[in-house]
Structure 1
């Protein structure tokens, strides 16, 4: 359960793109296979409690099967992502992705991308979404289009659930006079990162989204 909790934490948070979430799930699936084999072989390195217990062959077989079944459940739940796995890899590592494995309409653009030293520097210094924002849609139209489709995917419902919890917390019986407009402002301030830009008179200020 501790390993599941670790995965759950990795799948939470804001501004996490779907390819990173999927890589965490893929890694966990590989760990399940390893855990299943270890338990079957009575290697309890990752299961400290079992080290001090006498585990019968029947129970090791049972525990191993549980882990295999869990791996099957994960594979079933995330089967749709397997269909776009190559696209996720392309978007997350555009400068190292083998252009020969890409669609024909992307190959020439990827070659230009691989040979551009300026873009290599930007890729290493900028966040992925900002890197794609700097690409010219005239020079890399197809790469930009693929990146847009992947980067706008919602990888989890974490932000929605967090917003709903915040709404319930603010719209309580102790704040029954809170209007919808005020509630909307509270959510906007709480759920977005903003900096205040005060004018010289410090009488008004503008919200600038980060």
Structure 2
């Protein structure tokens, strides 16, 4: 992690990145992948960081193509904007803010929930920067909608939130609760460290297939996988709009994940080499793939070893191209999850009372906080080095 002070143009980012790479004596020609959050200073066609990196790599190795990907988790989160549910989101957020904004009113609401033996004892705030926030807020508001309606009536504010008595709006709200719940489940599957791109994209492809399935079911007025919407089944006037929303969401997923789709064949080849047709894979690995699929010992290894360990066990002289392709695919980052997590650790450590932290100290703290290595305290103690003689 490098500090960037002042401007953050593509040129500034490239200068810092190139300085680090050259300092660590890493060859540009070995660069396989760059993962970004899609900001313009990174992805600009002419002066963005990615364009400059690609030009630099081509200088050293004209045959090397760097795989540029947009964070899969970010893409999944952005897809929900196509649903056009602002007429539902805005009133729900306004309602939560109305209850939470004033301390007295918030305490009265909590006490009201306790007196009515509600299933929950509070409402969470909605935060745009939290991936799962909207789905959780919607679920909680839906489960407490009766209690919220009674509380608003008690406060004489029912007229400000007429949506809670609008049957058509409640149907849209129920649909939003269910689809955001499905999106949250997908998002959770995409989170975490040590996730290969092919595993993440498999979850995305499965979700795309589910959207087609959901759309077809709702068109037939079957709400098996929409537990909230089915409670409003009798009042739904137009199921086609929900089916269309799901079709639009599917199209948006296809559009946003087109960059990963381009390398899907390579992902499948590395993830499941034993089931691939040798005639459909790149020419340089066809014969090697046939040899691999014909070797019973390697088949047994594939089922018993981790994927990276399996490819590491392949004979380099016999399977040079397959090993090289696996190396390139298995090192790809599917998301910026690790970066986001590290930034969170950094923000925790940069508390106001530690505002005088130097860049070097912060870098050391982050290294300690994020490493998987366990210090050998016994060996350190035996060395006898003491920072303070009084200890």
- TM-score strictly above 0.5: yes
1:28-107 aligned at under 5 Å gives the runs 28-53=207-232, 54-58=234-238, 60-107=239-286
- Give the aligned length: 203
Q: Which moved more, 1:121-130 or 1:18-27?
A: 121-130
1:113 to partner: Cα distance:
1.4
- Check if 1:109 corresponds to 2:282: no
Judged with a 3 Å threshold, the aligned counterparts in structure 2 of structure 1 residues 200 and 149 are, in CA distance, closer, same or farther, namely: closer
1:72 to partner: Cα distance:
0.4
Give the distance between the partners of 1:56 and 1:201, measured in 2 at CA.
70
Judged with a 3 Å threshold, the aligned counterparts in structure 2 of structure 1 residues 121 and 165 are, in CA distance, closer, same or farther, namely: same
1:57 to partner: Cα distance:
4.1
Give the distance between the partners of 2:262 and 2:355, measured in 1 at CA.
48
1:117 to partner: Cα distance:
3.1
Give the distance between the partners of 1:109 and 1:168, measured in 2 at CA.
49
Q: Which moved more, 1:127-136 or 1:63-72?
A: 127-136
1:187-202 aligned at under 5 Å gives the runs 187-197=366-376, 202=381
TM-score with structure 2 setting the length: 0.49
Gaps in structure 2 of 5+ consecutive residues: 1-179, 384-391
Give the distance between the partners of 1:4 and 1:76, measured in 2 at CA.
17
1:39 to partner: Cα distance:
1.1
1:202 to partner: Cα distance:
4.3
Gaps in structure 1 of 5+ consecutive residues: 205-210
The counterpart of 1:17, out of the listed 155, 180, 196, is 196
TM-score with structure 1 setting the length: 0.88
- Bigger-Rg structure (1/2): 2
Report what 2:357 is aligned to: 178
Report what 1:164 is aligned to: 343
CA RMSD of aligned residues (A): 1.9
